[in-house]
Structure 1
Amino acid sequence: MLLQKLHFSAFLVVLIFCLRVFSLNPDGLSLLSLKSAVDAASAAAFFSDWNEDDATPCRWTGITCTNVSGSDDPRVVGISLAGRNLRAYIPSELGSLIHLRRLNLHGNNFNGAIPDQLFNASSLHSIFLYGNNLSGSLPPSLCSIPRLRILDFSNNSLSGQLPKLLQNCRQLRRLILARNKFSGQIPLGIFPELANLEQLDISENEFNGSIPNDMGELKSLSGTLNLSYNHFGGKIPKGLGDLPLTVSFDLRGNDLSGQIPQTGSFSSQGPTAFLDNPSLCGFPLQRSCKNSSSDSVEYGLVENDGVGGRKGLRPGMIVLISVADAVGVAVVGLVVIYVCWKRKDSRGCSCTGKGKLGGNEHARCCAFPCIVFGGFPSNDSEVESEKGGGSGGGGDSGRMSGGVGDFVAIDKGFTFELDELLRASAYVLGKSGLGIVYKVVLGNGVPVAVRRLGEGGEQRYKEFVAEVQAIGRLKHPNVVKLRAYYWAPDEKLLISDFIPNGSLASALRGKAGQQSSSLSWSIRLEIAKGAARGLAYLHECSQRKFVHADVKSSNILLDNDYQPYVSDFGLNRLITITGNKPTSSGGFIGGTFPYLKAPQSEKVNTYRAPEARIPGAQPTQKWDVYSIGVVLIELLTGKSPEISPTSSTSTDILDLVRWVRKGFEEESPLSDLVDPSLLQEVEAKKEVLGVFHVALACTEGDPDARPQMKTVSENLEKI
């Protein structure tokens, strides 16, 4: 009897223990396998609240639950344990989480193979495993999941061939396998089936053979097709030209050979797309295809039957070139003489003694008839304030003085005398290391913006004139127009259009002491498109390929109809010539937004690309692409990228780009990212997402992965 009682007591203990353990629902039991797969030190630190006594795991760190149809209890739909340096393997039991939608384990030290049973979790649509130490090949059941949209397995040690079974992942939108050890040839037939694929990155692997011609059938692809740093060989397939024109190629670091095709989307690629392929030739590389017959015709080359078989010019071609040179020199000479003569007459220069100019001016005009003289400033001319006399602000006297110099109207339709400019009604808009800016209202009622650059640079006259003339030649409806300039040894002025409605920064967040204007989504989208058009013009369409190097919302000005104007291009170069040192306090040519006083603690300029923050780095156009991407994010979120690093509030965002990327990575609701004032415009959701995707492409960390500015503009125009 006593023995029976003992057995019964033991049975009760076991039963109570089992009931206690199995009070946790099935999802929780599956998750405990992940806790047990992690090494003890990490488990103690990060899984302290994963308690088997809980009824559900929905309050555990990194776990997201929701109520799903057909179930009374909340079920696990998300696992996010990213960046915790967990040392573990991925347990196959996670495959039993049939409602799991998002698995995010990136930035840890998970090792071993990806279990094939994981893909029994049939609701999965996003898997982020990048930045671990996973090995082995892609699991055979990978594409058995019907709604799989995102696979990011980059930065691991995965190997093997790219399996043809990937063609079954027909809902896939992002496939990122970069920086692994995949090898072999890529089979035909995969890509025509991936009609929804928007991003493909298989860079830095060991793939070889030819690039599949049917890769050109990825009609939904956007951003960058990244095949760089593999061992692809042979010719570039012409089929890639069938990809959308907005797609940028990255084929660097392969063994490709032959001539680069010139059809379709190849026409929009820059030379960086094809670098480090020694046997590639043709446009846009500056490496001609020597065996091409078209080259011989173009340059008039013929085979020389003399010793060595050298190529040379035909005798007839030599005579023709000589005659053309002589005629060209004569024509140019006549044009120069005629222009100088007309300029001299228009200025009243008379070397016979009578003319509109006198004294030294007359003598210099006759001696140098092609030097422009249009008037001279009066010394210490008073600039009256539009706000009721005095200096106009900041304790500055408001005086613009200068000696004898050159006043040049770059725009032929912009005619007035310098004395008229100096005596006009004006007030100081602001000042900084980039100079003082005045708003000046001319006698005809037309306002202009006048920037005073400083007093140095008298030894660099030709350099200054060449730079300002190049800027003055730019004409685009979304670029601030420079109308005239004045140069003297002790004074430098730039006169440009006055843009009346301030900057985009003030429109989004308001000027000091004023409320911001509420910009609708349609206005914001048009501002984004216009600014991109203007910047693309500076990059691609101007005679000289400009780099702005300081794109930000305070340098995008708005008129009364909210049309945007890119400003401040070339200004840093002019400041360098005049000897002043630019500061980061902002300001622009042609705007109303005041210069900011130097803050107590300078803000971090997060508009700058990562590579632009390295001391001594030379500006590139990809700097501008990154910056316009930040401006787009600013338009979308309404948040300022320039945050003081000394701020103690927890709500500050030190890196707006990183914050948005994290939100997309974790598939946060759009309402968590977008400006709250836009939430009522529900019909614009697809447009907002489209601009977000363009912005994220612009703000890639690798400058070569960013699209060209022309591509950015074209992508925005399609939204």
Structure 2
Amino acid sequence: MSQKQANCCVWLVSLLAVLVVPTWGDDADTLINFRISLSNDAALNNWDNTIPPCNWTGVRCKDGSVFRLRLENMSLTGLIDMNSLVQLSGLRSLSFKNNSFDGPIPDVKRIGALRILYLSYNKFSGEISDDAFTGMNYLTKVHLARNQFTGKIPTSLASLDKLAELNLQGNQFEGDIPDFRKATKLNTVDFSINQLLGPIPPSLRRFNASSFADNKGLCGRPLKACKSSKKKTILIIVIVAACVIALAAIVAISYIVSSGRGSKSSQFKTTKDTKALKKYDTGQKEAQKIFDYSGSGNPQKGENGKLIFVRDDRERFDLQDLLRASAEVLGSGSFGSTYKAVLLSGPAMVVKRFRHMNNVGREDFHDRMRKLGSLSHPNLLPLVAFYYRKEEKLLVSDFVPNGSLASHLHGNRAPGQPGLDWPTRLKIIKGVAKGLAYLYKEFPSLPLPHGHLKSSNVVLDKNFEPLLTDYTLVQVMNKEHAQAQMVAYKSPDFTQADRTTRKTDVWSLGILILEMLTGKFPANYLKQGKGVNTDLASWVNSVVREEWTGEVFDKDMKGTRNGEGEMLKLLKVGMCCCEWNAERRWELREAVKKIEELKERDNDNYDDYSSNYASEEYGYSSRALTEDDFSFSVTA
């Protein structure tokens, strides 16, 4: 072999070596160096340069770069090498939950573009410096629960304007809670089980009391009122005593002046009140509350003085039967009060008392109620009768003993009582969709066939079949009150464009779907009038875009095998119904069609789902679908 041929062979072998030995770029080398600082790292055995790092355990990539590092439930110890992590330019999500790391919190602010930080359930300890999160302007979620952190909560946390979730539960934080007024997107907090003191800041008083539990020094709404200082208390007592003495003097003088001429008037008033009380006294205090008509008019004489029945398949009774009925207050909402009335003849009825229902005249109101009485569908709670009076109205329907969907999703359950499982939730949402589709068919010209679709307006029968309530009432409600209270007017259609369309109820359906899947209450429904755009749909969208889809699902659905794929399909339906732009939002018929196609369990390709969607914490997906599958806009 000539020298020239030999040189060619050497060159060819070198070229083949370059082609055969894979090179995965800087991220792979960075992660290998990061692993060196870890101990007890057997779970990372497939971190090897022979395979792409995007296929390594706990690593997710985006556009070829490491986007998320999720090393959870691995019993890892050692050092979290921030010098290596800062070299991952695409890193946006970092989770070391449920390991055994100890020592001070890592210097996370060196990764300024980080969006998600989960360090819960480790053994981190010591104080966190006040500037620990300075400059982390993209951070949306911080979970530091169940560690051993001490000292004050860093004020740099409270300055994060994109922060949506904060969990500091189960540490030893002390001192005052800083004011989170800059964190306007904050929707989930947990400061419980610490050693915090002082009043809860105004920016956090909207959260539930459980978010602040087991801090002996915290006070103020939503907890007990803060105690005043001793000096302040004495000053208040002195002022109140002086006012009482002065008021007593004024009353005494007034009595002396008017005693001669006031006795007859007083006697007349007492007699009138006594007669009214006797007239409506049925031996039931709650019944008095239902039918205590104050002002002019008389419920027996009023507008014809009788209930008007709109159905022929119900037992007849009159107003006096309701007056004699044993009554129980079921709730009091923005429109009025709701009562359960058990008639002497046996059946239990629900009576809803409305005070803001004067948008139409008497004849028009009668016509609309008769139309509602003519509706018949397995997923509608039928109107049985109504009572008309100018100042207020009564709507009577059957009592459904299993309660509302909201009570099952958000109410307190007895220990050991299971929540709604996936098959039941799917059954409920299918029934809701059918009932809504029927309303769309019966009211083709109404922009809002329902108008107030939410979980508290869905009741469940003994078989957990859903029945829609409070439907098609927008037209008879006072406009100002409707726009301040009804769900349709919380939609982006109205808050952004001052209008409602045939797709507005579709948005309400989407929010209901997300509420059922996440178990989270749509808190923006509690705000009157036009509020901020932050809602349940925005939260779900943020979680999905961060590729943490598995954390969306309500843990009460845990235990359903082979259903993850169908849950994800329903999640997509909900998100498409919540599309911010009404033109891109699904039509109701498309949403109903997709919901009808859903099954309790996946098809035979479940193994494909289970390998990608397993989550040790919840038993659900931790892999998000692509943005093409799941993206939807949350801004106009």
What TM-score results when the alignment is normalised by the length of structure 1?
0.45
- What's the TM-score once normalised by structure 2's chain length? 0.50
Higher helix share: 2
